[in-house]
Structure 1
Amino acid sequence: MNTRFPFVDWFRNSSPYINAHRGRTFVILIEGEAMANGRGEQLIQDLALLHTLGVRLVVIYGIRPQVDAALDAAGIVAERHAGRWVVDHAIMRCVERVAAEQRLWLEARLSLGLPNTPLHGVELTAVSGNLVMAKPLGVRGGIDFDHSGEVRRVRAAAIESLLDRGTLVVLPPLGFSSTGEVFDLDAAEVAQQAAVALKADKLILLGEADGLRDDSGALQRQLTPGDARPLGEAAAAGSELARHLAAACEAARHGVARTHLISWHDHDALLGELFTRDGVGTMITQHRYEQLRPAGLGDIAGLLELLRPLEERGMLVARSRERLEHEIDDYLVIERDGMIIGCAALHAFNDAAMAELACVAVHDDYRGGARGALLLAELERRARRDGIAALFALTTHTAHWFFEHGFGLADIESLPPLRREAYNYARKSKILVKSLN
């Protein structure tokens, strides 16, 4: 149902996510390029909004372009190996100064109460500190990386204590050693290690690209770590793509459920990824958020909602809740992030070695993705396993789809006796049959 105000529909559709995200821990990396290109103010507003909705936030910020600019201004040429700076004392002084300046800028903006925005008056308490312990990279390939380091551990208990008090935690790409030294760290590694240590619900990486694309240029909405790892290994060492994919895959391997790759260029990316069903970027997850599975009684409400529009258009025969409950074991569903977007049923007539393919439905917003064919293939597999020799279907609107998938026209005598007796002559449904032999 449309409203006069489009945001009302969006708000209704986002409400399940608002509820689901409350009390969750999100680790968010904002690469330095975002701040260098003036995106900081908008991102701070979005962070404030997430905070008001009850999300526990840990924010890591990158400083690579700012340090590059500082080194150029000082006439210092940084040596790089395998995508990392070789950080000597002079470079480390630049890194420390830039990191401190960026942290102070962030904390100052978060302390303003966000004037001239819809979130005016919201108070955010942001805290940083010696929350990441580090160790030196040491000598690698004959190169002494000096003050370049890697994460040794994240002080998870201290961060959890801050989050429990409603504090937004800010982590610079710096780490501290037990001997009192400071090391330059990769911001993506800090984000990944923080997400793992905190058992975060999400790791969100804001970079240049709006996600990963296939060879045709189409955005890939979801990948497993196995899918993503070769892309990272093929990327240039030290590139943002290599760093982000390494962080995403490692986070997934250690139990972080979802990592999101989105672009800071898109002003709506952070909220669009978190509060819409399909998101706007690429998600790396061990578990598919769209899955084909047997239906259960808990799916009845979702099935009724999916089928109602098709029943109102006369494409499907109306099914009551009681009927669905009685036949639920016959159904397969496609679930996408908690929403039933497709279904089909297989009603067996064992005395005739036939089964009816019934109630094939895909949500209007998700057609064109071969989901109907996926449902059909799985039900055919199930039918063959159960010794069914042929499928039949009755349809008033979608005969051509069935033709494309191997069904042919048949007459009423082709139906099993029980189904023949229940045939509704008023609907004039076409009868289609497919042999499974």
Structure 2
Amino acid sequence: MDLVFPHLFVPWFRSVAPHIHAHRGKTFVVGLSGELIAAGKLENFVQDLALMHAMGIKVVLAHGFRPQLEEQLRAKGQVSHFSHGMRITDPIALDCAQEAAGQLRYEIEAAFSLGLPNTPMAGASISLMSGNFVTARPVGIVDGVDFMHTGLVRKIDAVAIRRAIDTGALVMISPFGFSHTGEAFNLSMEDVATSAAIALQADKLIFVTEVRGILQGIVQEPQRAAELEAGQHDPDVEIDQELALADAKRLLAALPNPLQPTDTAYYLQHAVKASEGGVERVHILPFKVDGALLMEVFTHDGVGTMIVDEKLESLREATPDDVGGILQLIEPFEQDGTLVKRSRTEIERDVGLYTVIEHDGVIFGCAALYPFPEAHTAEMAALTISPSVQGQGDGERILKRIEQRARAMGLQTLFVLTTRTMHWFIKRGFALVDPDWLPEARKRSYKWDRRSQVLVKHLK
């Protein structure tokens, strides 16, 4: 083994720990496109689901089978028929859909049953449950077109699903539903996954699809959607990592009705429906990125687009509930000597002096403001940004908020003590001064053995 590996692994594992704590016990509905399975990526995807399950996340899996159904139809010499962006399911297509769904169910169950040593599935022992959780209704006749056995979700048996996942099982839902008369209907995976997420009031709905997410250019120029969507597979074309629900609705209203799953509006319409139905987070991820599911759930920025009812990142003053997050954030910097060690008691006492940046419930940055009103100055201490998000401007955002707080107190200057980041502060208007400049109360606690540099900024 490369000797440097532990030094990379330990900081990385610590960096994902806040996400593990935040997601434990939460319910995620994952919509899996059949294209992922057709591309031969099922085994790795199942391993990632198993890891999420092992970390205490309750998982409901809804799978699609578009390419598998197409293959069955071709084998029978049949062609697909679509209208209004939906498949017309005649009796032959229904038989093919049932065959495709049965084959996929077998493949998925087999993948979850793997337990080879030295693989992520070793010792997983996951119970996979499925059943008649979906009640369907026919699409019927639309504009003179009879959709026959194509259906829409009427109801999801959320009670039965919740009972199953609460026992530790992973629930799988196929894109089939049955009416009260026992008639079978072919459904879309996206409709099933969205309806299940709303019925369960899931914490996340995650679509793992053939698209990368919502392209930034489309958000800015929706009228050029058809042209810009050609860049879906161009890694140089950036995606929107986070889209507010209000912006998603405006974009959806400006886009043409989707005709195929690669159209931007196709997954966006389901994301908007789920968000309006009470699902907190909806994600659109590319299956072509290995480990996309884990990266989206356990890293700050993820790899796809997340649609939320409001922006998740907030800059605010700390509360007592943030003490644990602040301690976890600053501990590595205390251990390497960048910061002076602070006890939990100190932080609990001073928590009202802290400003924090949080994203989706996880604290990624903080700083404290200690005023010395008799000297018309204040100290900014413990400025810390998580290594996973450094370089994105969060440090400057916290600094500006601290400056605003100091000005509101009527203070004239702001000072910091640092041993390693002098140049960062100088670039932002601080000037180096002698430690004797410090207010008398702060000078008495100055640690001369650390030889910290003192920098001051005049507040305008």
TM-score of the superposition, structure 2-length normalised? 0.78
- 1:223 — aligned with what? 243
User: Residues of 2 paired with 1:360 and 1:9: CA distance?
Assistant: 19
Q: 1:235 to 1:58 in 2, by over 3 A?
A: farther
Secondary structure of 1:129's counterpart equals coil
Q: Does 1:42 align with 2:66?
A: no
Secondary structure of 1:344's counterpart equals strand
Preserved contact between residue 204 and residue 282 of structure 2 (Cα < 8 Å): yes
Match of 1:383 among 406, 414, 432: 406
Query: Residues 339-350 of structure 1 correspond to what in structure 2 (within 5 A)?
Result: 339-350=362-373
User: Residues of 1 paired with 2:408 and 2:356: CA distance?
Assistant: 19
Preserved contact between residue 2 and residue 9 of structure 1 (Cα < 8 Å): no
Q: C-alpha offsets along residues 387-407 of structure 1, whole Å, 9 cap, x if unaligned? A: 445444455554443444344
Match of 1:293 among 296, 300, 316: 316
- 1:256 — aligned with what? 279
Letter in 1 for 2:403: E
Cα shift at 1:294: 1.4
- 1:284 — aligned with what? 307
Q: Does 1:246 align with 2:269?
A: yes
Letter in 2 for 1:222: E
Letter in 2 for 1:370: G
Cα shift at 1:28: 1.6
User: Residues of 2 paired with 1:332 and 1:220: CA distance?
Assistant: 27
- 2:60 — aligned with what? 58
User: Residues of 2 paired with 1:164 and 1:323: CA distance?
Assistant: 39
User: Residues of 2 paired with 1:392 and 1:4: CA distance?
Assistant: 37
Preserved contact between residue 3 and residue 9 of structure 1 (Cα < 8 Å): no
Query: Residues 103-142 of structure 1 correspond to what in structure 2 (within 5 A)?
Result: 103-110=105-112, 112-114=113-115, 118=119, 119=121, 123-142=125-144
User: Residues of 1 paired with 2:430 and 2:6: CA distance?
Assistant: 44
User: Residues of 2 paired with 1:9 and 1:347: CA distance?
Assistant: 30
- 2:35 — aligned with what? 33
- 2:227 — aligned with what? none
Q: C-alpha offsets along residues 106-141 of structure 1, whole Å, 9 cap, x if unaligned? A: 34554x554577436765543433321122223434
Aligned residues: 435
User: Residues of 1 paired with 2:371 and 2:122: CA distance?
Assistant: 62
Q: 1:191 to 1:381 in 2, by over 3 A?
A: same
- 2:201 — aligned with what? 199
Preserved contact between residue 196 and residue 254 of structure 1 (Cα < 8 Å): yes
TM-score of the superposition, structure 1-length normalised? 0.82
Match of 1:91 among 90, 93, 113: 93
Q: 1:195 to 1:412 in 2, by over 3 A?
A: same
User: Residues of 1 paired with 2:147 and 2:42: CA distance?
Assistant: 31
Q: Unpaired runs of 5+ in structure 2?
A: 218-235
Preserved contact between residue 199 and residue 255 of structure 1 (Cα < 8 Å): yes
Match of 2:388 among 359, 365, 383: 365
Q: 1:340 to 1:27 in 2, by over 3 A?
A: closer
Q: Does 1:330 align with 2:325?
A: no
Q: Percent identity?
A: 39
- Residues 262-271 or 283-292, more deviating: 283-292
User: Residues of 1 paired with 2:417 and 2:169: CA distance?
Assistant: 59
User: Residues of 2 paired with 1:128 and 1:318: CA distance?
Assistant: 52
Cα shift at 1:374: 0.8
User: Residues of 2 paired with 1:356 and 1:254: CA distance?
Assistant: 46
Q: CA RMSD in A?
A: 3.8
Q: Unpaired runs of 5+ in structure 1?
A: none
Q: Does 1:151 align with 2:171?
A: no
Q: C-alpha offsets along residues 292-345 of structure 1, whole Å, 9 cap, x if unaligned? A: 221234444544454455556665555455544443322112234555432222
- Residues 303-312 or 365-374, more deviating: 303-312
Q: C-alpha offsets along residues 337-383 of structure 1, whole Å, 9 cap, x if unaligned? A: 55543222223343455433343332333221111211122223333
Q: Does 1:433 align with 2:454?
A: no
Letter in 1 for 2:178: F
- 1:178 — aligned with what? 180
Cα shift at 1:162: 3.2
